[in-house]
Amino acid sequence: MIDFIIVTGLSGAGKSKAICAFEDIGFYCVDNIPPSLIPTFYNLCCDSKDKNIKKVAVVVDVRGGENFSVFFESLNKLKIDKKPYRILFIEAENHVIIRRYKETRRKHPLYENYRGSVSQAIELEKNVLKTVRERSDYIIDTSSLSDAQLKERICGLFLKNSQNSLMINCMSFGFKYGSPSEADLIFDVRCFPNPYYEEDLKNLTGLDDPVRLYVLKKQNTKIFIEKLFSLIDFMLPLYHNEGKSQLVIAIGCTGGKHRSVAITQRLYEHLSDTDHNVSVYHRDIKK
Model pLDDT, residue 64? 61
Residues 6 or more apart whose CB falls under 8 angstroms from that of 245 comprise 86, 137, 138, 166, 167
* SS3 of residue 110 by DSSP: coil
Model pLDDT, residue 116? 60
Model pLDDT, residue 243? 66
Alpha helices in 105-218 (DSSP H): 118-134, 147-158, 209-216
Q: Model pTM?
A: 0.64
**DSSP run (H or E) holding 239:** helix 219-241
pLDDT per residue rounded down to tens, the chain (287 residues) = 789 999 999 988 999 899 998 988 889 999 988 899 999 999 999 988 887 788 999 999 877 666 677 888 999 999 999 999 999 999 999 889 888 887 767 777 665 655 667 788 888 888 888 999 999 999 999 998 888 888 888 888 887 544 445 788 999 999 999 999 889 999 999 999 999 999 999 999 999 999 999 999 999 999 999 999 999 999 998 887 776 778 999 999 999 999 999 999 999 999 988 767 788 999 999 98
Distance CA 63, CA 240 (A): 34
Q: Could you tell me how far CA 262 lies from the centroid of its own chain? A: 21
Residues 6 or more apart whose CB falls under 8 angstroms from that of 225 comprise 216, 263, 266, 267
Model pLDDT, residue 156? 80
* SS3 of residue 207 by DSSP: coil
